[in-house]
């Protein structure tokens, strides 16, 4: 049991460190956020026109709109500009709770991965690496990639994360869990 706990904790640290490097120093996700010199004007406009925090799809329809009305709006706006906006009234620059939650999620993910790996007969280094990468690819394909299909966003950074971070975790677990 202590072998699994150490595997989980070190694996979570590997995953957490990769996520930090990927989003900060390595710049793998730099294409996820585009800069505009009109930052302040856009934020002022949003603050004047949005009363609730949330993610908005523009153009959008009010709740209760019929399917026919929604389809007519889509046809009417075909070929015109559109936007997806995540709006918050106040920027929280405190990273402590976000980092804690991120690491806690990494621990839970490693707990689930070790549960899966423990059920593979004749487990070895290669099986651990492959299973770990498959877990990363499943997460990538079903969340960021599917989102990108509908909202036309880039996902290369997420694909790199899925392969590299989970590959590193698989290497660690394959070595650690198969030690005598």
Q: Is the pLDDT of residue 122 over 90?
A: no
Give 22 or 33, the one with higher predicted confidence.
Answer: 22
**Mean pLDDT (whole number) for 5-18:** 97
Give the pLDDT confidence score for residue 33 in this predicted structure: 85
Give the pLDDT confidence score for residue 129 in this predicted structure: 97
**Mean pLDDT (whole number) for 85-89:** 92
Give the pLDDT confidence score for residue 118 in this predicted structure: 93
Q: Is the pLDDT of residue 1 over 80?
A: no
Q: Is the pLDDT of residue 113 over 90?
A: yes
Q: Is the pLDDT of residue 142 over 90?
A: yes
Give 132 or 34, the one with higher predicted confidence.
Answer: 132
* pLDDT tens-place string over residues 26-79: 999 988 888 899 999 999 999 999 989 999 999 988 899 999 999 999 999 999
**% of the chain exceeding 90 in pLDDT:** 84
Give the pLDDT confidence score for residue 31 in this predicted structure: 85
Alpha-carbon distance 162 to 150, whole Å?
20
């Amino acid at each position: 049991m202590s072998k699994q706990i150490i595997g989980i904790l070190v694996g979570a640290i590997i995953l957490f460190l990769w996520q930090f490097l990927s989003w900060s120093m390595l710049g793998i996700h730099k294409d996820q956020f585009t800069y505009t010199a009109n930052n302040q004007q856009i934020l002022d406009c949003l603050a004047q026109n949005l009363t609730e925090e949330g993610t908005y799809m523009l153009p959008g329809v009010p709740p209760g709109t019929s399917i026919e009305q929604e389809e007519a709006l889509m046809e009417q706006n075909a070929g015109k500009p559109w936007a997806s906006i995540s709006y918050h009234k106040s920027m929280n620059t405190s990273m402590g709770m976000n980092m804690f939650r991120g690491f806690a999620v990494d621990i839970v993910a490693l707990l689930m991965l070790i549960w899966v790996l423990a059920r593979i007969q004749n487990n070895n280094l290669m099986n651990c690496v492959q299973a770990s990468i498959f877990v990363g690819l499943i997460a990538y394909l079903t969340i960021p990639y599917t989102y990108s299909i509908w909202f036309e966003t880039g996902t290369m950074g997420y694909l790199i994360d899925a392969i590299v971070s989970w590959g590193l975790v698989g290497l660690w677990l394959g070595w650690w869990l198969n030690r005598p």
